[in-house]
Amino acid sequence: MKPIQDQTILITGATDGIGKLAALRLADQRVQVLIHGRNPEKVTAVVAEAKNSSGNKKIEGLSADFSSLSEVRRLAEEILERHPRLDVLINNAGVGFADERYSRDGHELRFAVNYLAPFLFTHLLLPALKNAAPARIVNVASAGQYPVDFEDIMLEKHFDGIKAYRRSKLSLIMFTFDLAEELKEARITVNAMHPGTYLNTNMVRRAKVTPLGEPDSGAQAEVFLATSPALEGVTGQYFNVRTEARAEAQAYDPQARKQLRELALRLTGLK
């Protein structure tokens, strides 16, 4: 990898919680940080905070609602026009407990934002990542995983928000393992991580769960996976914070991953 101060790192969902703290840490290291969020006003505020606290002027804000696949496409096009080289992509954006049941495209919301959006976004940004190789992709998943039921992928029969979240995060890990195999020759590593259990974030507080830790530990882990020389060449792994761990069994099932990949290609319209 290039020296840290010469890298361009994009982090999604970086206006709150773990993502915001990771972005601030990267700004302190003089990285060119691309900060994404859904709310343009919050993006502007975090960019200003990062610049003021770090003195780093190489901070840029980006806004898009990842519950809309057309907005994902629009943002990817915008990034490719302005940044032909991307050293690291951190897919941090996610939704847990929400009032909405469906995305703007009519898909189950957690499956759409936590899996379909990063699936599409990552594929669209591959040209910039390949231009910068060696490069890294970090997918922020969860230790809370549950097998995907392909007979009820959108949970129309038996909806459960917690189960929907856990399935979406396992789907992201399955995508991680697939993409790691695909990109080995391109010198792009792809890993997934659990940032920590019930950290003190808006998502956890909204779920009315008592926090068990502070979000900065998760932010440190994200930055570690994104930048540490110790992980050079490490790919296709799932980390529990900073330690390699074992994901739910379905993640290692090639047939299940193939079925999920084909579904995602169809739903996102990717070739």
| Residues with active-site annotation | 165
CATH of the domain at 206: 3.40.50.720
Q: Band of the pLDDT at 1, cuts 50, 70, 90?
A: confident
CB 261 within 8 A of CB 178: yes
Mean pLDDT, residues 204-229? 79
How many CA atoms within 13 Å lie on the side-chain side of 163? 12
| Structural domain range at position 165 | 4-268
Q: In angstroms, rounded to a whole number, what is the distance separating the alpha carbons of residues 229 and 69?
A: 34
- Predicted model pTM: 0.94
Kindly state the tokens that stand for 110. 């957690």
pLDDT of 206 reads 65
Rounded Cα distance between 269 and 69, Å, is 10
Say if residue 196's pLDDT is above 70.
Answer: no
According to DSSP, the residues that pair with 213 across neighbouring strands are 199
Residue 204 has pLDDT above 70, yes or no: no
Q: What tens digit of pLDDT does each residue of 144-157 get? A: 999 999 999 999 99
Concatenating the DSSP letter of every residue in 254-268 gives HHHHHHHHHHHHHHH
Please give the mean pLDDT across all residues of the chain. Answer: 93
* pLDDT of 197 strictly over 80: no
Whether residue 60 is predicted with pLDDT greater than 70 in this model: the reply is: yes
Chain centroid to Cα 15, Å, comes to 14
Residue 208 confidence (pLDDT): 63
Helices vs strands, H then E, count in the chain = 9, 8
Q: What's the structural domain count of the chain?
A: 1
Give residue 55's identity as a one-letter amino acid code. G
Taking phi over 0 as left and psi of -120 to 50 as alpha, with beta for the rest, 13 belongs to left
